[in-house]
Structure 1
Amino acid sequence: MSPKPSSADRRLFSQLRSEMDRMTASERVIANFLLTNRQAVPFETANSLAAKLAISAATVGRFCRRLGYRNFRELKAAFKFDVAVAPWPIGEGLRSMLQTGGGEPALQRDLDLTIAGIIEVYRRAETREWQDIVALLAHCSTLHIVGFQTERGLAAHFASFLQYVRPRVRVADLATGSFSEVLLDGTDKDCVVIVETRRYSRQAQLLARHCRQRGLPLVMITDKYCHWAGEYTPHILALPTESGIFWGTTVPIHAALALLVNGVVLALGDRVEQRLAHVSDLYQEFVGHVGKPARGQRKRGGDIEP
């Protein structure tokens, strides 16, 4: 289970949420990080947070004073979580392997961050917020999934699995440039899923804005730095992407998508098994699997069996 916030934590979180609309863009970035990345806050400094969020340390200081704290150290004291230094015990053999050779300690840090991120995802899967998102994905009329930039692959992967377990799952067509199948043909019984991490595509925010204006339920699957998602939907999974290597990690996002698919399967029950049986029969008819040719494709004396 996730650690429970203290009364001081709750007051701070309530203050952050209530004042978000009146904050500057830089202040919203900081507030969003504090709300979505609580486990990491005790390990940050004003300088490290400023570097991570691409703002100045002076901005962090002003933000703290706005909330009634003298500095970032005093603000951190409001976070009373019992956070383990190491997110997961690993064997000395693996630790030794990770820490040998030039630059290898980065792999150790990446492993620790990735495991911590996966643990956080599994904890999130126990929350009411998560279950509300699963219900939308399972029971909406048509599910539109869209990803931008490098997240296109994540979105397509997610959609492919959901197409096996429920009908009317669509990958939004970026090539048309209009999203008409979502914004014109979609209804308030549909659901839109946007998968996006920073630097965020302008299209992602614009699509989110149009979804809100048209009353289309929206799920945002993003990172912990996306301060603007809350303007358009309450259904946000802000997931850890920090890593010790060149690119930010997508492993926790993959884990979250897999658990969301599993949640949809559980929500739909027996209907999934029936659908999978039909999909399997159709696949075997048209394509077939290794060692088991598709029906009508077995060769007999050089001919194709009808």
Structure 2
Amino acid sequence: MEQKLFEDQHLTPNEKTIADFIAKMGMTVLTYTEDEIAKSLQISNATVSRFWRKIGFKNFKDYKNNYKETMDISPANKLGNIMEQVSSTTIHAQMMTMSVKHLELTLAQYNAEDFQKAVQSIVKAKTIYIYSPGPSEGLGNLLNYRLSRFGFNIQVLPKSGHEIYESMLHFGYGDVLFMFGFVKLHPESRVLLEHAKKLNMKSIVITDSIVSDFNMLADLLLFASRGELWEFHSMMAPTFLIENIIIAVGKETAEQSMMKLEMLDSIRKEYKDLLPR
């Protein structure tokens, strides 16, 4: 795409400056606004706005959408992008700023009613089936570990393949499907959600997409920001959301949860000489 910008021989000096800036910035330019580009180059906003039409796009948004469709979004490119943005001497401060941004975006989309419905669904569930594919596996393990301690019956679903069918065999009314649906709706996710809906099972999806195919299939969607499609995906906000769910469920089932934790403590003390921590 960048080469196309330089092939236009009718660009003014200022437009060539913009084209050069975009070519050098690569994917990072997608994080900019027109105003930021204008200020960075000390060029008027009007010149920047006209530039997109000059190179064949309706506006900056149209350029961004086209870029996203044609870009190579590989793990290597996403890691390379974050490495270009942070400095080794200030990495902690920069990553903290990014984490705060993700938490703020997550809270901006927070729906207290949906969150409480998700908590109540978990509290009332006969069995909670957790589907946490790919990078969300750690989140699923955290949820499983904490809720199991409270005495809930948890089943972690296989990631893919025909083994999923074996687990679906045990789905039933009163159960809950808890799923992590990042980026897009995969075939396994669709199968699980559609089958849960047929059985009138509640389904809860934590997603990083405000508008996606999950909206049509899941009963409850909880948003957690992880960054744009081309960015290094942070798990800070999803972890924050999971910990909030765990604490809320613990409060709703305080008597049962405390009893189970006290039993755990008693068992540890009884066998501490044989299995020291």
TM over 0.5: yes
1:200–1:48 Cα change, 3 Å? farther
Q: Which amino acid aligns with 1:262?
A: I
Q: Deviations along 1:205-262, whole A, 9 cap, x unmatched?
A: 2222222233221101111266110111230012211179952111100000000101
| TM-score between both structures, scaled by the size of structure 1 | 0.57
The match for 2:193 is 208
Q: Which amino acid aligns with 1:234?
A: D
The match for 1:146 is 131
**Contact 2:171–2:196 (Cα < 8 Å) also in 1:** no
1:297–1:115 Cα change, 3 Å? closer
Structure 1 unmatched runs, 5+: 1-39, 57-99, 287-293, 299-306
Residue-pair matches, total: 208
Aligned mates of 2:256, 2:98 — CA distance in 1: 38
**Contact 2:183–2:209 (Cα < 8 Å) also in 1:** no
1:124–1:295 Cα change, 3 Å? farther
**Quick check: 230-239 or 247-256, which moved more?**
230-239
User: Which structure features the higher share of helix residues?
Assistant: 2
**Contact 1:145–1:194 (Cα < 8 Å) also in 2:** yes
Post-superposition offset of 1:131: 0.6
**Contact 1:110–1:245 (Cα < 8 Å) also in 2:** no
**Contact 1:124–1:130 (Cα < 8 Å) also in 2:** no
Aligned mates of 1:131, 1:178 — CA distance in 2: 32
1:256 corresponds to 2:271: no
Q: What does 1:75-224 align with in structure 2 at a 5 Å threshold?
A: 102=87, 110-122=95-107, 127-174=112-159, 177-180=162-165, 182-198=167-183, 200-224=185-209
1:222–1:116 Cα change, 3 Å? same
Post-superposition offset of 1:113: 3.5
The match for 2:232 is 247
1:276 corresponds to 2:261: yes
* The one of 230, 233, 238 aligned to 2:218: 233
CA RMSD between the two structures: 3.7
**Quick check: 197-206 or 133-142, which moved more?**
197-206
Describe the SS at the equivalent of 2:201.
Answer: coil
Q: Deviations along 1:121-159, whole A, 9 cap, x unmatched?
A: 456666111111111112211111111112122211221
Aligned mates of 2:144, 2:67 — CA distance in 1: 31
**Contact 1:107–1:245 (Cα < 8 Å) also in 2:** no
The match for 1:50 is 65
Aligned mates of 1:108, 1:244 — CA distance in 2: 23
Q: Which amino acid aligns with 1:255?
A: F
Aligned mates of 1:240, 1:143 — CA distance in 2: 24
Aligned mates of 2:92, 2:62 — CA distance in 1: 24
Q: Deviations along 1:77-128, whole A, 9 cap, x unmatched?
A: xxxxxxxxxxxxxxxxxxxxxxx98587887665334213223445666611
Q: Deviations along 1:146-197, whole A, 9 cap, x unmatched?
A: 1111212221122111111232022113477343464221212000111131
1:111–1:280 Cα change, 3 Å? same
Describe the SS at the equivalent of 2:172.
Answer: coil
